[in-house]
Amino acid sequence: MVGSIDCMHWEWKNCPTAWKGQYTRGSGKPTIVLEAVASYDLWIWHAFFGPPGTLNDINVLDRSPVFDDIINGQAPQVTYSVNGREYHLAYYLTDGIYPKWATFIQSIPLPQGPKAVLFAQRQEAVRKDVERAFGVLQARFAIVKNPALFWDKVKIGKIMRACIILHNMIVEDERDGYTLFDGSEFQEAEDNGSSHVDLTYSTDMPSNIVNMMSVRTRIRDRQMHQQLKADLVEHIWRKFGRDEDNN
């Protein structure tokens, strides 16, 4: 799991009148969308800013470059095992609107049985990382919390990018102070680790259309999504289920 993905809206008070219909959603005010990926320490790993506010999360995803490196063969190879089964695509935690792809794991809306209930609790607790990142970003920078007063959308985009860079600089400086877990718990020897990232992997793979379509199909594999989710349910139950029984 490499992070949580979600979208937030930044109100654009001085949106040009000719664009208001394109940027105005149900709230009646024009907004610009920010799609972001954040990890547990609130570091923002990916930011895509600019889609009009009338788009929902799926429409924004269709325009997003979040999977471009994987499709173009420029991302390092990832190998990890869950419940004894090997996987080669990292995944993001999302809310229910995102599609059932091999790279997305949603919660279980109406969990039946203790395993599903435990998985839903754990998934929803960790998925809030990106919501927390949005909240901290707005709390730190009043310009992002309040409606944008500029006319020029390019300038607004530069402001958002600058705020995200400054936010990450603060996180990098302060993250040691609010790490609430024991890092040694996650440090395993290389020979018995359950995951591996090949950083020496050559990214010179030719990005012809056949390779790109093949990778795109793997990313959108619904069957792989169901298999990974089932394995994660079993894995979470084996790791934390005993604690739940004791409580």
Q: What percent of the chain has pLDDT over 90?
A: 66
- pLDDT tens sequence across 10-65: 999 999 999 999 999 887 899 999 999 999 999 999 999 999 999 999 999 999 99
9 vs 19: CA distance, rounded Å: 16
Of 143, 135, 112, 114, the closest CA to residue 44 belongs to: 135
In the prediction, which pLDDT does 38 show? Answer: 95
C-alpha distances in angstroms, 54 versus 9, 16, 34, 37? Answer: 10, 15, 13, 21
Q: Residue 11 phi/psi, 5° resolution?
A: -65, 135
pLDDT at 193 over 60: no
Q: Tens of pLDDT along 139-174?
A: 999 999 999 999 899 999 999 999 999 999 999 998
User: Which position has the higher pLDDT, 219 or 190?
Assistant: 219
Q: What is the pLDDT of residues 104-126, one digit of tens each?
A: 999 999 898 999 999 999 999 99
For the cut 50, the answer to whether the pLDDT of residue 191 exceeds it is: no
Higher-confidence residue of 184 and 196: namely 196
- Tokens standing for 197? 């990232």
Mean pLDDT of the chain: 87
H/E segment holding residue 123: helix 114-140
The answer for 43, left when phi > 0, alpha when psi is -120 to 50, beta otherwise, is: beta
pTM, entire model: 0.83
Pairing of strands 195-198, 77-82: antiparallel
- Tokens representing residue 24 in the block: 């105005």
